[in-house]
Amino acid sequence: MKGMILKYTSSNGQTYDLKVGRLRTRTADYHDFSWVPQEIQQQYGSRVYRFDRDARAYQTTLTVFGTLEERKTYLNLLHAAFDHDIVTLTPGRITHGMYYIECYITDSSTYYEEPWTQNTLTIYCPYPFWRRDTEYHLHISETGDEYEYLDFPYDFQYDYKATLSGFNMISNPGVKAADWEMRITGYALNPLVVIGGMSVGVNAVIGAGEVLIISSRNKTVKKIAANGVEVNLFNSRIKTNSIFEPLPSGELSVIWSGAFDIDLTVFEERSEPLWI
């Protein structure tokens, strides 16, 4: 993967690389996880009817290098970013390879020993899943070429292509159903998209310069008009089925008229980030 493989990003957009430069991760337990069984006691043992997942707290120890003044300055900036998340009740992110988890830094202890400083942190994650956002850009070629390639936030070993017929394949690479967000742009009259057999659409006009946003995670349907005004289209959604179902694991077909562009983000979730 290009770029940083372990980093913290605060809610105010400040990013700190946790693997190189003045800040190095000494220890971390990002690959620890647990599930809580919900069960009914029986004569012999029990019957599990589901597993739940509690909020997660990770422990990590960072080593800060540099002169004493440089270390103090760097830790002041880092801890100010931690405090910003707490004060604004807006989580930051720990990114590990291609996956991230939203978090708050709730505890910190510091130990000075020349020529470095050690900072031990508790990383509290209210939603205890690591996520990867895979973006698909499905559209008809404006140049008249037979194919338009899809863009991804990271490299695959092969290219995906979109034909001009309004048919494509996407993937949920996770082991569980994934939430998603769809953005439709370009003029569209009552746009309808069928993903893996699930119909997603609204009975509305999406004009040129407008954007239709449908979120399975937030259960929202809204249009952003050309002047920036947000219009709630929840009641205009098609009601023959729920349009907010998560996408099942595996390869999924996408079928639409081909008359408008689709930006689709699949939110894959895992118990732990992939080992890198």
Same structural domain, 144 and 122? no
What gap in Å lies between CA 164 and CA 169, rounded to an integer? Answer: 13
Q: Domain boundary residue among 93, 128, 163? A: 128
Tokens of 166: 């309004």
> Is the pLDDT score of 1 beyond 70?
no
User: Which pLDDT score is estimated for 142?
Assistant: 38
Question: Given 66, 93, 128, which residue is the final one in a domain?
Answer: 128
**Residues 89 and 155 both lie in one domain:** no
- Is there a domain that residue 69 lies in? yes
Residue 141 has pLDDT above 70, yes or no: no
What's 247's DSSP letter? B
| 180 within some domain | yes
- The percentage of the chain sitting over the pLDDT mark of 70, rounded to a whole number, equals 89
Predicted pLDDT of residue 69: 92
On whether both 159 and 110 belong to a single domain, the answer is: no
| 142 and 46 share one domain | no
Q: Within this chain, do residues 76 and 28 fall inside the same structural domain, yes or no?
A: yes
* Contact call for residues 195 and 177 (beta carbons, < 8 A): no
CB atoms within 10 A of CB 247: 22
pLDDT of residue 140: 64
pLDDT given at position 4 = 57
Number of domains in the chain: 2
Shared-domain flag, residues 122 and 155: no
| pLDDT (average), residues 47-59 | 94
37 Cβ contact partners less than 8 Å away, ≥ 6 residues apart: 46, 48, 50, 51
Examine the fold and report which residue of 80, 110, 128 is the final residue of a domain before the chain moves on.
Answer: 128
Binned at pLDDT 50, 70 and 90, residue 147 comes out as very low
Same domain, 136 and 262: yes
Residue 176 shares a structural domain with residue 233: yes
275 within some domain: no
pLDDT in tens, 120-135: 999 999 999 999 999 9
**Based on the domain organization, do 159 and 250 belong to the same domain?**
yes
CATH of the domain at 192: 2.60.120.880
| Winning range, highest mean pLDDT, from 22-26, 39-43, 271-275 | 39-43
* pLDDT (mean) for 210-237: 96
Q: Is residue 1 in a domain?
A: no
Report the chain's mean pLDDT, rounded to a whole number. Answer: 88
Q: Please indicate, yes or no, whether residues 79 and 154 belong to a single structural domain of this protein.
A: no
Instruction: State the Cα–Cα distance between residues 263 and 48, nearest whole angstrom.
Output: 39
110, 173, 215 from 119: Cα distances, Å: 4, 36, 39
Residues 161 and 238 in one domain: yes
Burial of 99 (0-12, 13-18, 19+ CB in 10 A): buried
Q: From the centroid of its chain, how far is CA 157?
A: 22
> For residue 35, what are the domain limits?
6-128
Does the pLDDT at position 162 exceed 90?
Answer: no
Q: What is the pLDDT of residues 71-119, one digit of tens each?
A: 999 999 999 999 999 999 999 999 999 999 999 999 999 998 888 999 9
**91, 136: one domain:** no
